[in-house]
Structure 1
């Protein structure tokens, strides 16, 4: 396997009738049908210049997986259309990536077009999907029923999957052209046509397993609008040969930060993503017969590479979905897992592996996770290098003196700089930052040390506290403090003196049952160096959090405790 696309299609050749995906409503798609759909999208987007941006706005689901893989197979580079971006930030990102395609849900065209004002009043900010970069022509491919706002000449996913794409495919749309597809044109629904457009994911009914041939037969028997195609049935070993596209082709641009004038976009290639996914597979057993329940690409895609089943959440109770799907693997953000385990202390017996990531896991959460049944692994990763190290919950709980990250995964290079910052390299490293020179290693922004071949996190470089000329690393002490009786979560922050710049050390604690500040103060000298003993302790009902992963917002926490007398 030389990249992510050919790897998944090779799996489809070997296991065409095995279930590849289960959608949020429990309907199954075989590997053969998945490959057929990916090929249909690739064929419809043929002619895309390798590395050309594809502005992508499709929520997690079977359609999103098919469209993402098909877009990359056609040579495109995915650029996620994050909702809520300020207009100037979005404009800078569009200028930097210059998308040639927009792949989006029809409802999002409506919300970013005719109903844009209503969406903004509801707090939903979306880019103008019809014209993301004024003056720059783009092609469009939409999923879902035709709705006002879908551009004239846009391709419809349902027609693409039925093999009824016009010979000229999607027409480029320039600024100032018509905003809606006319009845009867590509991407529209004719007046009086019953129902909306449907893909396999939108088809009504109970849980179904559909191969390409079965989909056509079922459509004929029941009169439903399931995907048809003039292409060969991909449930056989006829996956397309797309080896002419290099694994060095950019596959995704993931924006992490940066100014309006200089957006910071991480560029991953088909090869770097495949290398990262292989590291996940090597870290824990995964193969045919396993069911991976997650909406995370970086765990779902390894499942497809390994011939396992990727089960997509349906939005219900996670424990109930895990049991219903007989899931063997899943992923959780620590703060979300904590809420789940307080309601459901024991997880289904079929679940063998529970992966934690996106934020550090407090000791209390790790203990409950271990008691819930599956083997618990904590993943250390960053957008530029996925993953870096993996440690078990038991290893982390048994370690004192910093947050144990685990040994670097095979092929991952690590280097500790003179100031203690961790640098990472390896085949899974992103190719570059958008508009910058190729990367050979990446500065993580984390302070770490190596003990017996294992990485130990000391804290974020920017979160280092300076007191009396001594550097204090919060991550060195927080895990041990959080493991004390009566402590649910702990964070150490520095409050700078406006005149001297020297910092007061404050320990913020979310108390648990049995919390006693006197006992906590007595315990601190045993686990905290003398120069790092907090000046004061503040109890807080809940830590401020931010982002999709609900990470601790240290800046907000500093502001919160600084205001207290």
Structure 2
């Protein structure tokens, strides 16, 4: 079984002088420099008492130094636990308790802003409730200069990466826990996905079957799922500024992509670029789309604007990524929410209730503190069209009205295909007796016209089941999204429409 860490370090030997990582300020590490820093970091950690099996809390913005530390931690036998200090003190405490980490790495400014003092008071006045990171009973690593509030004895991240002569190359260990990523779960019962060096390598190998990367490629993204396979392929990975939102500044996005051959966008970002009229560079070969449904109407617009770019819609989740990839042409030709064929090694089956169940070598070990997984229940409803998967809805998004079960994902792609509709979402708004009123939220395309809601209402009886016809249609300038991946926030939309 392949090993992610070994594959990255072997690429360092094979592609040594070629550029590997470039940050937003243009500073670049070659593949050889990246590998040397990873191995040196691992050795210095071991010299400081870091032992195999240790977990490290990780709250460092994406960048070459952060990637070196993360890989170095894994090379030392440890596990990187990605934690967001902005989730609030109570949930943060529950997550760190579950992680049982021995070390923590964080930005110096985070230590300063979370420790008692004027910066923490300022953060609170701005509505940011940060946990006291410096009070964690762990060994600390800081990213950035020393600031008041940084624990005494905190190690500089860059100091860890200084060259160590003859730092050993790690042995393959695909079964070693590599990363922990918190996903769903309540404050009382947080859930964290555990991936191994082997499951991550299998994920990258699966992606490589549809995403063509090589030494002549330059990937521009902050997504590890695309950046790490770029390193393995000997490609050049460049990072946008931390927190950059493509939809807010399409011109800056286009400038950052100059010379890039590959990138990853969420559908809302791609829509914003197309709406702006900003031209993306001709160097682009493939654009990966994911983290939210990728529907034919958006792909048709993108095909017209980017005729020489291959669009790839990636389906997966934190537990197993990727599951399937469909090209834009395949999805447009199909018309529904086609996911594509399961990728090599991925096994998919449809349960009796229609839920999609998946497994394979890229499946995570399981959830932290729980038994290992052999199969993952996706929460998505799907069907097989020959050997291709087609998404038909979400179990948890099901709307109950008058005894009928309505699955929004079955109807939203059809409605989104109507003239003048850029996006369409069906949500159920509960009433006082437990039934739900169905509301259709529309985002108009630039040429929609003033009577979009009336035209859609007139067309719907000929397109969707009578049981799914909305009680109300509302037109919104945009849909609420959440997180860095800008997924549709159905809960926020439901709350907005319930007012």
Total equivalences in the alignment: 482
- 1:437 lines up with 2:364 in the alignment: no
C-alpha distance in structure 2 between counterparts of 1:247 and 1:48, whole Å:
20
After TM superposition, the structure 1 = structure 2 runs for residues 115-514 of structure 1, keeping only pairs within 5 Å, are: 115-132=119-136, 136=137, 138-162=138-162, 229-231=163-165, 240-243=168-171, 246-314=173-241, 315=244, 317-323=252-258, 326-373=259-306, 374-400=309-335, 402-499=336-433, 501-512=434-445, 513-514=447-448
- Alpha carbons 1:345, 1:368 under 8 Å: kept: no
C-alpha distance in structure 1 between counterparts of 2:435 and 2:331, whole Å:
32
* Structure 2: tracts of 5 or more residues without a match: none
* Aligned counterpart, 1:6: 6
Q: Deviations over 1:155-185 (max 9, x none)?
A: 22333333xxxxxxxxxxxxxxxxxxxxxxx
C-alpha distance in structure 2 between counterparts of 1:43 and 1:415, whole Å:
44
C-alpha distance in structure 2 between counterparts of 1:259 and 1:230, whole Å:
43
- Alpha carbons 1:102, 1:141 under 8 Å: kept: yes
Deviation at 1:530, TM superposition (A): 2.9
2:240 counterpart SS class: coil
- Alpha carbons 2:443, 2:475 under 8 Å: kept: yes
Q: Deviations over 1:199-231 (max 9, x none)?
A: xxxxxxxxxxxxxxxxxxxxxxxxxxxxxx352
- Alpha carbons 1:81, 1:127 under 8 Å: kept: no
Deviation at 1:322, TM superposition (A): 0.8
Q: Deviations over 1:13-36 (max 9, x none)?
A: 111111111111222211110011
- 1:55 lines up with 2:18 in the alignment: no
Deviation at 1:398, TM superposition (A): 2.5
Worse-matched range after superposition: 286-295 or 371-380: 371-380
C-alpha distance in structure 2 between counterparts of 1:296 and 1:514, whole Å:
34
C-alpha distance in structure 1 between counterparts of 2:479 and 2:170, whole Å:
49
Deviation at 1:466, TM superposition (A): 2.6
* Structure 1: tracts of 5 or more residues without a match: 163-228, 233-238
1:298 counterpart SS class: helix
C-alpha distance in structure 1 between counterparts of 2:287 and 2:12, whole Å:
26
Q: Deviations over 1:298-351 (max 9, x none)?
A: 11001011111111113581101111xx10000011112222222244321110
- Alpha carbons 2:274, 2:301 under 8 Å: kept: yes
2:391 counterpart SS class: strand
- Alpha carbons 1:494, 1:503 under 8 Å: kept: yes
- 1:81 lines up with 2:16 in the alignment: no
- 1:539 lines up with 2:475 in the alignment: yes
* Aligned counterpart, 1:69: 71
TM-score (ref. length: structure 2): 0.92
C-alpha distance in structure 1 between counterparts of 2:470 and 2:147, whole Å:
59
- Alpha carbons 1:376, 1:392 under 8 Å: kept: yes
C-alpha distance in structure 2 between counterparts of 1:469 and 1:354, whole Å:
42
Cα 1:434–1:158, aligned 2, differ >3 Å: closer, same or farther? Answer: closer
- Alpha carbons 2:83, 2:181 under 8 Å: kept: no
1:84 counterpart SS class: helix
- Alpha carbons 1:255, 1:263 under 8 Å: kept: yes
1:97 is matched with which residue: 96, 99, 115? 99
